[in-house]
Amino acid sequence: MAINHIRPWRNIYRRESRKIMVGSVPVGGDAPISVQTMTNTLTSDAAATLRQIERCAEAGADIVRVSVPDEDSSAAMPEICKHSPVPIVADIHFHYKRGIESARAGAACLRINPGNIGSPDRVREVIRAARDHGCSIRIGVNAGSLERHLLEKYGEPCPDAMVESGLDHIRILQDNDFHEFKISVKASDVFLAAAAYQQLAEQTDCPIHLGITEAGGLTSGTIKSAIGLGQLLWMGIGDTLRVSLSADPVEEVKVGYEILKSLGLRHRGVNIISCPSCARQGFDVIETVKILEDRLEHIKTPMSLSIIGCVVNGPGEALMTDVGFTGGGAGRGMVYLAGKKSHAMTNEQMVDHIVEQVEKKAAEIEAETAETGAAEKTAAE
Ligand code: SF4
């Protein structure tokens, strides 16, 4: 993926995997690495759940998972699946019947946990329902809920035990001629999760769902996820991901995208490059970036913006960005467009002006993309 002949040190060679569909979203193969999150509303409250799903989709979630812990949740699933703007994954633990009900309700995928879904017979029933209703399945192994016989065999949750659990369930699906599945081997311990995923990646060609489970709060969970998921993605492992945070699911989506953006694996919205600021700054960098992040949240077009406090690094960073601003003296700074010095601007007018420039550039990029798409379509006809 993203082969760069000029800068080979930026190349990431993605592991080859089969492609499956989660509703309308392809996962695996050459599909973009999708970003998932999970609702934390009561699923039985369809209206509240849909509101949260819409917020997550607006932030960029490609797929959203909802827990289906009881019959009331199952009852709300048809409405949720019908009105959701993105495919819905039903999260199933303990009660295999909720899986069958969710498949009937229109879920795009069923997440089952080998450690608590029950006997192979029950898994087979879930597989039948998934097949009948065009659902894919995620085998969601979790270090915290491994099968008893594996814990007895290995003594504790370890990569071998997690991978064995996953492979056992892959076999059940394959024996039932079901191949639309992906797999995860999550743990809250970064070392354990990373080792399990690396081992798993060598033993199956099915798409891999990445996650560091129960990673923690916004800051600590983001760091843990960036370390764990970041190194796996850098190795080319991972076809879809969910960042688990004790925070608003919208934050999970944002963090997921930031991890992918940092590795050049996905691009969405404005990538702001800004300095930490110091006594040399020509304007309040931190406050300005905060305001700009908020004011530019509506831009979905991938593009870059540099906001740098002074000329030490400003012109250099601006060379590489679509729009740039570098602080100067006497309450003024310099605006850069497409890497070139363009015009001076006062600090007071700078925020409105930058927003205007970014919106203009986004519209240009969108128009160019539409033109290229139309030309390619004509050429193909
Ligand atoms: S770019 Fe300038 S203002 Fe920003 S941290 Fe560096 S020296 Fe300080």
Query: Looking at domain 270-380, what is its CATH homologous superfamily?
Result: Sulfite Reductase Hemoprotein, domain 1 (3.30.413.10)
81 is in an annotated binding site: no
- Sheet-wide strand order for 63-67: 181-186, 136-142, 109-112, 88-92, 63-67, 34-38, 240-242, 209-210
Q: Is the CB of 176 under 6 A from ligand 1?
A: no
310 is in an annotated binding site: yes
315 C-alpha to center of ligand 1: Å?
11
The DSSP H or E segment spanning 304 is strand 303-308
278 is in an annotated binding site: yes
242 C-alpha to center of ligand 1: Å?
34
Q: Select from 273, 278, 284, 306 the residue to mutate for testing ligand 1; criterion: most ligand atoms less than 8 Å from CB.
A: 278
- pLDDT value of position 2: 52
Closest C-alpha to 201, from 61, 24, 13: 13
Tokens of 2: 């993203």
Class of domain 11-262: alpha beta
H-helix segments, the chain? 46-59, 71-83, 96-105, 120-132, 148-154, 159-175, 190-203, 218-234, 249-262, 285-295, 314-318, 347-380
Summarize pLDDT for 71-92 with one digit per residue, the tens: 999 999 999 999 999 999 999 9
Tokens of 222: 């983001």
Q: Is the CB of 284 under 6 A from ligand 1?
A: no
Among 120-124, 270-274, 334-338, 377-381, the least confident range: 377-381
Residue nearest to atom 5 of ligand 1 (CA): 277
313 C-alpha to center of ligand 1: Å?
7
Q: What is the rounded CA–CA span in Å between residue 84 and residue 95?
A: 24
Closest atom of ligand 1 relative to the 281 alpha carbon: 3
| The pLDDT of residue 50 is above 80 | yes
Work out the pLDDT band at 374, boundaries 50, 70, 90. Answer: confident
| The pLDDT of residue 192 is above 90 | yes
Summarize pLDDT for 232-253 with one digit per residue, the tens: 999 999 999 999 999 999 999 9
Q: Is the CB of 275 under 6 A from ligand 1?
A: yes
Residue nearest to atom 2 of ligand 1 (CA): 310
- b/e per residue, 297-325, with b = 16+ CB within 10 A? eebebbbbbbbbbbbeebbebbeebbbbb
Q: Is the dihedral of CA 68, 71, 72, 78 positive or negative?
A: positive
Q: What is the rounded CA–CA span in Å between residue 56 and residue 36?
A: 9
Q: Is the CB of 38 under 6 A from ligand 1?
A: no
Domain extents for the chain? 11-262, 270-380
Summarize pLDDT for 305-336 with one digit per residue, the tens: 999 999 999 999 999 999 999 999 899 999 99
Q: Is the CB of 342 under 6 A from ligand 1?
A: no
Instruction: Report the mean per-residue pLDDT for the chain.
Output: 94
323 C-alpha to center of ligand 1: Å?
18
